[in-house]
Structure 1
Amino acid sequence: MSSETLTNNHNLDISSNFSDDDNWYIYEPLGDLDDMNRDAIPDCQTTVPYHLYHAGMTLVSVVVLLTLSLLIKRKHLYKTCLDGAPGLLSPVHFLEEEGNRGVPIAVFGILFSSLCVLVLDANPLPFVSISSSRSREYLKILALLYYPVFYYPLIACATVRHKIGYVFGCLLSWCHCVVHVWQKVECPESPKIYRYYSLLSSVPIILCLAVLSLWYPVLLVQSFRRKGKTAEEVLGNGYYKEYLKNILAKRAPERKTSKAKPSVFSRFQSYLYSYIYTPQEGFQIPLKLTLSLAMAVLAVYQVALLLLVTFVPNIQIVRSGMTKDVTALLVQFGLIPSKNAAGLPGDKELATAKYYVWALEVCFVASLVLSCLLTFSILMQSLVRHRINLQRLYRGAVMDVFHRPRKLQLSQQGLVCWMCFTGFQAAFTCLGLLIQQVVFFVCAVAFTFLVVVPLQFGTNLYVFKVAEKMWPFWLTLVVSVLAQNGLAQFCFLERGRRPKELTNRRALYIVTYLLFPVNVLVGVLAGVWRMLTIALYNILHFCQLDLSLLGHGTEAFDPGYRTYCYYLNIEVSQSHPAMKAFCWLLLQSQRPRGPKGPQPGDVEEGVMLMKQPASKGSHHKQNCARWWLAYTLLNNPSLLPYRKGALLNSTAHKMQPGPVIP
């Protein structure tokens, strides 16, 4: 009997054996679905449904806004019929706010965290349940407008600076906080991404609501104790006085320091201090910069949390579910070494495969921690640079900041960039952290599986084999570089003279010609190193808007740096501390001192008075105001576009500008 006949008979026997129950795995009962998905998260219904909470709080928020608009805004603007009409309350005085900053930061944190959760939510609007993906994208756009309106009263209650606003703020913050905590306690788990992702992503919202719940009662109690205080102390305008005292104070002459080269420890200490922001007397970071830094920190938290819960639980499931069948596939591809003669995986190979997956998890977590730490350090360094740039612009040193002449004045593009600055900072921080995580994770995995694992198991030594074969090439490059440095130091420079002079020119020309091919190879390595350093530098400083990632000639093509420059223009031209201080002086000279004193909205009126000639009144008050105004303008050139007439008059009276006081 031939071999072909035996094979056919064998196949017939196999088919006959499986003819009766060849579909057993299809018709086998699946059993209970709950037994198959024991880790499935059941649906959880809260006592206060999400849509009911939003409907009730939206109605309450509208009532609060209307009440505050009728009681507060109508009361303050009663002089004319048109100005006395109720209007929408201002959420934050970005350019005039000098007092409490806790409420704006907390509300912006709630809003930003809500938007981060919204991006991955199946139902963006709490009132609408959708199934199609196309309508979901439209509703996300509507949600971007809904959530700022929803949380608007939380921040507007503090802006009115009135007891009624503080009472409403207490009620709103308490209601929001109680409902959020209640919902998370009843339903801490959710099936979205990870069972605890919804809870962890809501932690900033709960913390910010808790801050508001404590802050509004404190503001309410302080409002009852302020009856005996002046309006200046209430509004926190002591910062202007402190700033003027600091820049006008007489300073002791600086001691001459020795010209000795600083030690390594002192240089390291100064470098470390450049990354640590410490409060400075007589200076205060603007509110918008503080908000930008807070939103950047929240962005780091939200992005890091999303990356962590997306990768780590899944890789842990893969590691725990690995079997010998999966390990056999890895052994066949040569990814895992097998000492078994038959090439079949055993317990040792399975443990090695799980170890490799665990190494991936460690690389991911380590790269994420490194990315977060580097982002935090870059943000702290940018805060130090913000203070330096603002101080330079306050004293008129425009060239030290922008490296080219620039007028500090209003413009349409500048105003748009000022409005977008906080959003740009948060967005750039998110993108920078994502890019850093991807790059650092790839580098960590490459180093682990090309260097660490081969050294540990003694297999897959590809990198070491390549390095072993190329050692003459590397030795040639090292020897050539060392030889050129040694010849330049001891042969081609005449020693013992200051300044040094060139000698042995003929030998220099010969060496330059002979080493040209070797220098081409060194140039290739230098080019690769240049590319890597530039890429790494730009990745690390991607979230730093005060530093351009392009050259000086192409800074305009960097949208982040351009936004930052225009932001500084608006901030310095509209919110200069010396300008605000002398606006208050002008107001005091124009108005009699009453029991209420100046109000928060009077700073803008003071700016208008600064641009207009002084009204007729007491010559003594006019002279004092004009003298102080001229002195300020002469020592703050950035304010010149707002009072050119006063500067011309002071120059006509032979008042020469003195040295700029830093």
Structure 2
Amino acid sequence: MAANGSGGLRDAPPDADDLGADWYIYEAAEPAVPQDDMFPGAIPACEPTISPRLYHLCMAPVSLAVLLGLSLLVKRRRLRRSCWKGVPGLLSPANFLEEEGNRGLVAAVFGVLFSSLCLLVLDEDPLPFITHSSPSTREYWKILALLYYPAFYYPLAACATLRHRLSYLLGCLLSWGHCLVHIWQKVDCPQSPKIYRYYSTLSSIPIIICLLLLSLWYPALLLRSFTRQEDALDQEAAGGGYYQRYLKALLAKRLQKASSTKMEENLLARLQAYLGSYIYTPEEGFQIPLKLLLSLTTALIAVYQVALLLLVAVIPSLQIVRAGMTKDIVVLLVQFGLVPSASPAVPSDMERELSTVRHYLWALEVCYICSLVLCCLLTCAMLLRTLVMHRTNLRALYQGAVLDVFSTAHILRPSRRAVACWLSFAAFQAAFTCLGLLIQQVIFFVCSVGFTFLLVIPLQSGTSSPLLRVIQTMWPFWLTLAAALLLQHLAAHYQFLEQHPLRKELTNRRALCIASFLLFPTNVLLGVLAGLWRLILSALYNALHFCRLDLSLLSRAAEAFDPGYHCYCHYLKLEVSQSHPVLRAFCLLLLQPARPGAPAGLQPSHVEEGIQLLQAKKAAGSRGRFKQSRARWGLAYTLLHNPSLSACRKTALTDPTANGAQLGPPKP
């Protein structure tokens, strides 16, 4: 019996009653899809030889013992006598306000910690000590895990802070233990039933890479401690070398002579300059702060983890649907008009329709993968651009140019908001990167699917595109709008604007008013199109720049309500006020002891002069005194003309007792 409906099987041949049997025969004749590929849950759960519970039960006490031993090794009375009456205290994982030498080591520890937290979100047992947790208590264990993992990986960073051979040895043992266990677990059980068979292994790649870096870094520090002097290591860890290099590059800078002939830049040169602004190239005497390095590391790991999750959560499912597509599902899609068909009742055409549906699903996979790759590339480009802007903003604030960075004048001093934003800056950068990548993936996937199915596939199959049909139907409307827009621009240029050699004047005002009244309805339609373009452009711009904290997504009047930009501004305040390289170089020169064979001009009372920065060899006589005086005035000029220090300097100069002056009764 022929089926009747909107799709129409009215003209079916007499053997159409047996069409259903043919479908089932075709389905049975299709090659069976492997059960493991169709259902990831069919993969048996693998228990490694060293289970996560055993690993944490063994390594957590070891880490705690290492941390306590290092705390006992360094007493608090050596750091601060009035703190806890000399009782040993907790070691710092890193001095984030100093330019330490082990920046890569701290970044690797943060990479391990952030990757562990990314795996924690989807783990059924968030706390390793608690197995088979119920859904009602799982969220409480996740909260405890947020506190446990930072404490678990704390000794990996604290071992480098002590700058002692024993601490380096303990760091070697800890990093080797963590690295070997993680590698052994993934080699023992490379597949898991969670989301995708290889998701657990692929998501652990950043952890293994960071642990491998730690396993090589700590032995290098241990070997260097035997070959280099202790004071050189202390100076490098305290950042003294960096501050002196920064000041040396600043004082040695010479003004370049301006070129008399100005070369005209072509389009290729401007394009190269624009692309070069997205590439961070190291500059002599400057390095980004440690907090920025940590934020960039966690942001890149966030891009990898989110992209991997988006990939394995969608693509295998689409492949399963494409492999399991049958003729009865194709007929259902044809009946709903989702698949075009000339004669869907003919069995020979069902093969073509089945291949068409599979081609559509394959196009969805291509669109999804291409949009994901594009989102990852754009996010990485935005992060590199952020790094360039960080350097520009920091150098401007170091020079005191506050208005070049902020829209209003700010005082660069610590505050409650600045401290809170400084604490959360790196975490905010990672979180904003995750959300920005998700938003970009949704937008670009929808746009790519619309472009593919509305334009590419119809042109490929030779059918009419719905988008082209709309354009062809409304061509008088589009032609009218284009003509009105062109007419206004031509009239404004030739009729309503009188050009003089030095100025431009408005003319034909009566005709201008008449045209404004007559073209008002047409301009309303143009305004609707401009409004739609404004909406699309602002959505794309905000989605692309969502991961950037150095600029606000709101207007200048409302930028204080942007939490990301607000955090970035206060972070810069604290970073510049506490880690100004010129001020720290000046303090280090004051505290630097005199050399045993130094000449008379380099006495301990004269160490604040910059003579040691500008002369590499010892100079004697008047030449040495001249360089010494020039370096002294150069350093004084730099500190005197720094607006960021003016507030503190003004307070000290207005104090009558600042220079030892005695207050007395006024003279009559």
CA distance in 2, matches of 1:563, 1:68: 34
Residues 156-195 of structure 1: matches in 2 within 5 Å?
156-195=158-197
Are 1:118 and 2:120 an aligned pair? yes
CA distance in 2, matches of 1:35, 1:553: 54
Structure 1 pair 123/299, CA: closer, same or farther in 2 (3 Å)? same
Q: Could you tell me how far 1:36 is from its partner in structure 2?
A: 11
Q: Retained in 2: the 8 A contact 1:378–1:541?
A: yes
CA distance in 2, matches of 1:539, 1:303: 16
Structure 1 pair 136/483, CA: closer, same or farther in 2 (3 Å)? same
Calculate percent identity across the aligned residue pairs: 61
Match of 1:489 among 462, 480, 493: 493
Structure 2 residue matching 1:501: 3-state secondary structure: strand
Are 1:150 and 2:155 an aligned pair? no
Are 1:330 and 2:336 an aligned pair? no
Q: Retained in 2: the 8 A contact 1:300–1:429?
A: yes
What is aligned with 2:104? 102
CA distance in 1, matches of 2:304, 2:87: 43
Structure 1 pair 380/477, CA: closer, same or farther in 2 (3 Å)? same
1:498 partner letter: L
What is aligned with 2:294? 291
1:639 partner letter: L
1:57 partner letter: M
Are 1:348 and 2:352 an aligned pair? yes
CA distance in 2, matches of 1:252, 1:178: 54
Q: Retained in 2: the 8 A contact 1:322–1:354?
A: yes
Q: Could you tell me how far 1:314 is from its partner in structure 2?
A: 0.7
Residues 554-633 of structure 1: matches in 2 within 5 Å?
554-588=558-592, 631-633=637-639
Structure 2 residue matching 1:342: 3-state secondary structure: coil
CA distance in 1, matches of 2:59, 2:65: 10
Structure 1 pair 34/352, CA: closer, same or farther in 2 (3 Å)? closer
1:463 partner letter: L
Q: Could you tell me how far 1:516 is from its partner in structure 2?
A: 1.7
CA distance in 1, matches of 2:167, 2:256: 50
Structure 1 residue matching 2:222: 3-state secondary structure: helix
What is aligned with 1:16? none
Worse overlay, 252-261 or 437-446: 252-261
What is aligned with 2:547? 543
Residues 228-247 of structure 1: matches in 2 within 5 Å?
230=232, 231-233=234-236, 235-247=238-250
Match of 2:276 among 273, 276, 297: 273
CA distance in 1, matches of 2:270, 2:226: 52
1:242 partner letter: R
Match of 1:208 among 189, 197, 210: 210
Structure 1 pair 643/134, CA: closer, same or farther in 2 (3 Å)? farther
Question: RMSD in angstroms over aligned alpha carbons?
Answer: 2.9
What is aligned with 1:318? 321
Q: Retained in 1: the 8 A contact 2:103–2:290?
A: yes
1:364 partner letter: Y
1:633 partner letter: L
Q: Retained in 1: the 8 A contact 2:107–2:294?
A: yes
Match of 2:467 among 460, 463, 469: 463
Are 1:636 and 2:642 an aligned pair? yes
Structure 1 residue matching 2:319: 3-state secondary structure: helix
Q: Retained in 1: the 8 A contact 2:126–2:142?
A: yes
The C-alpha deviation readout for 1:349-398, integer Å capped at 9, x for no partner, is 10001000001101100100010011011111111110110011001111
CA distance in 2, matches of 1:37, 1:277: 45
CA distance in 2, matches of 1:317, 1:63: 50
What is aligned with 2:131? 129
The C-alpha deviation readout for 1:543-589, integer Å capped at 9, x for no partner, is 0000000011101100000000000000000110011111213323x
What is aligned with 1:43? 45
The C-alpha deviation readout for 1:133-163, integer Å capped at 9, x for no partner, is 1200100000000000000000000111111
The C-alpha deviation readout for 1:206-259, integer Å capped at 9, x for no partner, is 000000000100011111111286453564422111211222225134314545
Match of 2:381 among 366, 377, 382: 377
What is aligned with 2:370? 366
CA distance in 2, matches of 1:260, 1:530: 36
CA distance in 2, matches of 1:426, 1:131: 28
Structure 1 residue matching 2:220: 3-state secondary structure: helix
1:303 partner letter: V
What is aligned with 2:310? 307
CA distance in 2, matches of 1:257, 1:482: 42
Structure 2 residue matching 1:494: 3-state secondary structure: strand
Worse overlay, 250-259 or 221-230: 250-259
Unaligned 5+ segments in structure 1 are 1-32, 595-605, 607-622, 654-662
Q: Retained in 2: the 8 A contact 1:633–1:647?
A: no
